[in-house]
Every structure is written in structure tokens, then in C-alpha cells.
Amino acid sequence: MHCGFIRLISGILLLLSCACAWAVDSADLFAAETRVSDESSETRNAALSELLAVVLGRVSGNRAVAGRPAAREILDEAPSLVQQYRYRTAAGDVEVTRYLWARFDPSGVERRMREANLPVWTQRPRVLLWLATEQAGQRSLLNIDGEASLRTAAISQAQQRGMPLQLPLLDLEDQGKLTPADVWSDYQTAIRLASARYPHDLILTGRLRAQDNGKWRGIWSLLGGSDSQTFETPPQVLDQAIAFAIDQTQNLLAARYAPMPGSGGAGGTLVRFSGVFDLAAYGRLIATLDGLEPVMQSALRHAQGDAFWFDLQLRGSQQDLQRALDIDGRVAAEPGPVRPMPLFLPNANTPDAPAASAAEPEADLHYRLLN
């Protein structure tokens, strides 16, 4: 009797430890924190507008939403929409840093966003992440939960974007069901079978190949119920590559589940931007589009490697957009890709020839983001 009770308690503790190991909840979509210089009302109100801009980006799924004219009206109401706030301090080597944390009223924010015709996307799909690496000809499953820097990068980016992220245990059960070769060959039967033990809505797999300069090139597959989408990430250090893939995945999901009103309709201009090699570059591109007078709305439509396709709704003509991009100076026009007739279709299961290459949208304009 005593042994049976001990085994029961041990089993319960094991289940609890497993749940903690792989369940990474998304951050509160309506809460954010920023650094402030003091606790005056002027500083607080300015910081609240900044924090509400972060919240609008999370709730809509679109990082650039705070730059919309309709969103600016909501930001002006930040002090009246705040539900609670508090300050905290952190002692540094030289000085004490002060932070302001605030949570905004969910119903009030959602109501104002809907009134402004901005997307509201609060029910996020849970994403389960599997990773395989190849280095010096050796392939292995990457236990991100066992690498502090990688786990921090993944969780931080997922929470910043409001993505409920699931990390597998990679215990003996996982290793018995899934091999590095399964992930590398995108063998979906094995991937879905191994994923069945974890609560999830979507599966993200990454195949990361080591480069000579300490960076990793990634090919990623996002698996849904019956479909999949493949994209690439350019060579980056491992933690940045994982964070970039999570960010890119959430961008694609936002374009699918919470498109900006008016995007994707008739009259849109599809523009391909290359040279977007990391999160900082992506942020510069979003800031560029947000600051262009002819651009009313933008929506991410496709991503592959260092290239992103944005569907732009314009106030004027395509020529107005080109002039604005040329004057801005942060991008440069480039010729469109030559599309020869393929002699054969690449093997979709071969990571060196992802299927996404054959599905590149035909862009109206082509630009490269400058450093």
C-alpha cells in the first residue's frame, strides 16, 4: 500500500514537472512595461501612450498598427483606458532604474479598436516547436528547454508577440517517436504523431544548418490541420535565428487570422522587400512603411529567407509610392527575379529545395532594405 502511494505521488509530480517544462503561456496581451525617468504625471501619461502602442500591436498582431491615424486617437486616450499601473526600481552598477508597468482595460481597448476598424486578435493558436540541427555532418534534435540562452530568446520573443509557445520535453518518449531525420526530411506523419501528447493548434519545425561563421541558416515549416507553409531564415546566431523565426511565424499568422481591414483587396500593390536579415532590420522596414504618406495600410502576405512581401493599400498611385520610397532613402529599387521555366519540381521533403521557392508571389515592385 505504501509503495503504491509513493508511486502515485511520484507520477503526479512527474506530470506536474512535465507540464512546467513545455507549457510557455503567452504574456498578458494588455500589460506592458517601460523605463521612465521620474514619476510625474507628464512622464507617466507619455509612457502610458507608449505602453498602449505596444498593447495595440499585440492585440492586433500587427507591429505597425500604432502608426495608423485611427490608432493615434486611441493612444491619446491611454490614461483613461489604463486599469492599473505601478512603478518598480532596479539597482544597477551606476544608478537606479525606474520602470512603469501598466495594464489596460481589455474590454475598453477592444471596443475602441473595433470602433476604429482595427483588427482584434486575442484568441491565439498554440504553437509547438520542434528543432533539428546539422553541424559537421551530424544531425540532432535540439532541446531548447535545456539551453538557457535559447530558451530565454524563444520565450521572450513569444511573449512579446503574444504567442502561446509549447516546448517539447525531448524525453525518451519523444526520442522514441521522433528522430532528427524525421524533422530534417519534414516527415509530417512522425512529427504529428510525436506532437499528439502536447496540447497545440499548430506545429513549427526548424531545420538549422551550421555555417562557417558561427551562424545558422534555417528552413522552417508551419504545419496546420491539413496544410503547411515553409519559409527560410538567413544565417544568424542561434538564439537570434530562433527569435526571428518565432516573430516571422506570428507575422504570417496575423496576416491569416487578423488581416488589416482593406488589405488584400482590389487595387493593392504587392511589394517585395529583400535584405531583411534580422529583427532589427524588420523593425526598420515596418518604420519605413509606416512613415510613407502614400501608404494607408500594409499587410504581410509572404516571407522567404531575407525577403518579405507586403500588400500596400495606397492613397495615391503606384508612382507616388515609388517616389516616396526613393525620397525616403532607406530602401533601393532592384530588378525583379528572372523566372525561368523549371525543368523539374524540387522535392518538397528536401530541406535544400523548400517548396516555398515555387510559390513566390509575383510582386508589382521590388526593393532592397539598405543597412
Higher model confidence: residue 63 or residue 159?
159
Average pLDDT score over residue span 69-73: 90
Instruction: Note the Cα 218 to chain centre separation in Å.
Output: 15
Q: What is the pLDDT of residue 345?
A: 38
CA atoms within 13 A on the CB side of 217: 11
Number of domains forming the structure of the chain: 3
- pLDDT tens string 4-38: 544 444 444 444 444 444 455 556 899 999 999 99
Q: Any bridge partners for residue 168, and if so which?
A: none
Q: Which of 301, 298, 286 is nearest to 369 (CA)?
A: 286
Residue 41 resides in a domain:
yes
248 and 169 fall within a common domain = yes
Give me the sign of the Cα torsion angle 189, 190, 193, 196: negative
348 and 328 fall within a common domain = yes
CATH number at residue 225: 3.40.50
**What global pTM score does this model have?**
0.78
Residue 237 resides in a domain:
yes
Whether 140 and 86 have beta carbons less than 8 Å apart is answered as no
96 and 138 fall within a common domain = no
pLDDT at residue 342 above 50?
no
> Where a domain ends, among 193, 227, 257?
257
Residue 196 resides in a domain:
yes
- pLDDT tens string 244-290: 999 999 988 988 888 876 544 445 899 999 999 888 898 899 989 98
Domain containing residue 164: 127-257
